[in-house]
Amino acid sequence: MRRDGAEWIVGRVETGEFVSFPDIGRRTIDLLAGGGPIDDVAERLNAETGTAVDVADFVTALMGVGFVAEIDGRPMDDTRRERPSLPWLKPRHVRWTLRPAVLAGLVTIFLCGLIALAVRPGIMPSPSIMAWSEFGTVSLVTQIAIAWSLVMLHELAHLCTARAAGVPGRMTLGSRLQFLVVQTDVSGVWGEEKRVRMTVYLAGMTLDAAIMGAGLVGLAIVPPEAGVHTALSIVVLTQIDAMSFQLLVFMRTDLYFVAQDLAGCRNLYGDGAAYGRFLARRAIGRGGVNPLTAFSRRERSAVRSYTLLLVLGTVVCLTVAVTIVIPALAAIALPAIGTLLNGGDGLAVIDAAIVVLVLAGVQGLWGWAWWRRHGPRIKRWFTPAAAEGTEG
C-alpha cells in the first residue's frame, strides 16, 4: 500500500493487480487483515468514522481482484498468479541495479558516445551498412540476431530492476499495432516510491542509450575495414531505432508509462480509448455517459490530450503500415517466392527459402500475439450473434 494524493494504491505485487481506495477502504482492509469477522469490522468502522460500510460487499469486490487469501480458514483459488520469468533470480542478486551509481555510469557511457560523435561526425553509420553482405539472407539473419539480442537485454534491464524492488516481473511476446514486441510486465512496481518506478520504467532505454554510446566510441576506435566495425554499426543503428520506437507514446511504450505516472493517471491508455469511443458515439448521435466525469481536472486534461495523441498516432502508424511497410515486405517476399516456384541455382533457392521462412515466422508470431491479446474480445462480439442465430 502507498499513499497517492487523497487515496491509497493497494495491490498484490505478485499478480500486478492494483486498485485505489479512499482512507476508509484502506482502514477496512487493515481490520479485515487482522482476522476480525465482517460484522465486527463493520461496527468498528461505524464507531470510528460514523459511516456505515457494507463490508460484505467490499470483501466480494476484494475477491474479484484476487486480494482475499482465505475465508473462515478456507483458501481461495488463486488463478491470477503467473510464473515469473527467471524465478531463480532473487532481489539480493540484482539490488545493485537500483543504485544511483549504476545509472550515473550508464549515462556517462552514453555521453561519451555523443562526445565521440561530435568530435568525429563521420563515425555515424549509414543505413546501407545493414546490407553488408552480398547475400541478402546473411545480412537479414545478422540483423535479426543482433536486434533480438539487444531486445532481450532491454527487457532484462526492466526485469532486474523490478526484481530488485521485490516485483516478480514476466517477459512475454506481445503486439503493438503492426509491431511484434517483447514486453515485461512490471505492474507490481506500482506499490513502490516514484524513484523506483521511474528507474524500472526507464531501465531498458537507459541501457539502450549506454550500448549505443559504447558502440559510437568503438566506431571511433576500430578501423573501418575491420569486421567488428560492421557489427558495431548495426548495433548503433538498431539502438537508435529501438529508442525512437519508445517515443511512440500513443502505444504502451516505456515512455508511455513514464508519462502516465507523471500525469497522475492510473490507466491513461484505457481511459483515452474509452473517451475516444465516447466522442465517436456522440458524433453519430448515440451519446452516452462521459467516462471523464468522475476524474479530477488534472486527469481530465491529461486524458483529453492523450486521446488526441492516441487517435492521430494510431491513424498515422496504420497508414505507414499500409502504404510503406506492407509494400516493402511484399517487395522482399514476392521475388523470393518466385524463386521457390520457378527454381534457380542452389544458393538462390536456399537464400529465398530462408527469406520466406524468416518473414513468415515473424508475421506468424505477430499474428499469434495479436490474437492472444484481442481474440477473447472478438469471440465475445460474435457469441451473441451466434446465440441469436441458433435461437432463430
- Per domain, the residue ranges of the chain are 2-75, 91-263
Rounded to the nearest integer, the mean pLDDT of the chain is: 88
Sheet hosting strand 2-4, strand order edge to edge: 2-4, 7-12, 17-21
Asked whether residue 324 carries a pLDDT value surpassing 70, the answer given is yes
- Measured in whole angstroms, how far is the alpha carbon of residue 386 from the centre of its chain? 34
Residues ≥6 apart with Cβ < 8 Å to 387: none
Evaluate whether 129 touches 234 at the Cβ level (below 8 Å).
yes
- Measured in whole angstroms, how far is the alpha carbon of residue 114 from the centre of its chain? 28
Cell of 240: 537508435
Query: What percentage of the chain exceeds 70 in pLDDT?
Result: 97
Q: What is the pLDDT of residues 59-116, one digit of tens each?
A: 888 888 888 888 888 888 776 777 889 999 999 999 999 999 999 999 999 999 999 9
Specify the 3-state DSSP secondary structure of 67: coil
- Alpha carbon of 273 to those of 133, 188, 261, 282, 297: distances in Å? 44, 23, 17, 14, 18
Evaluate whether 188 touches 14 at the Cβ level (below 8 Å).
yes
End-to-end CA distance of the chain: 52
Cell of 141: 539473419
List the single range of 65-74, 88-97, 194-203, 308-317 with lowest mean pLDDT.
65-74
Average pLDDT of the segment spanning 128-133: 82
Provide the 10 A C-beta neighbour count for residue 74: 6
Q: What is the pLDDT of residues 219-230, one digit of tens each?
A: 999 988 878 999
Average pLDDT of the segment spanning 305-317: 93
Average pLDDT of the segment spanning 247-254: 92
| Higher-scoring residue by pLDDT: 389, 35 | 35
User: In whole angstroms, what is the distance from residue 283 CA to residue 275 CA?
Assistant: 12
pLDDT at 312: 94
pLDDT at 384: 58
| Higher-scoring residue by pLDDT: 382, 117 | 117
Half-sphere exposure of residue 247, counting CA atoms within 13 Å on the CB side? 6
Asked whether residue 259 carries a pLDDT value surpassing 80, the answer given is yes
Specify the 3-state DSSP secondary structure of 287: coil
Provide the 10 A C-beta neighbour count for residue 265: 20
pTM above 0.75, yes or no: yes
Asked whether residue 351 carries a pLDDT value surpassing 50, the answer given is yes
Cell of 198: 521511474
pLDDT at 326: 86
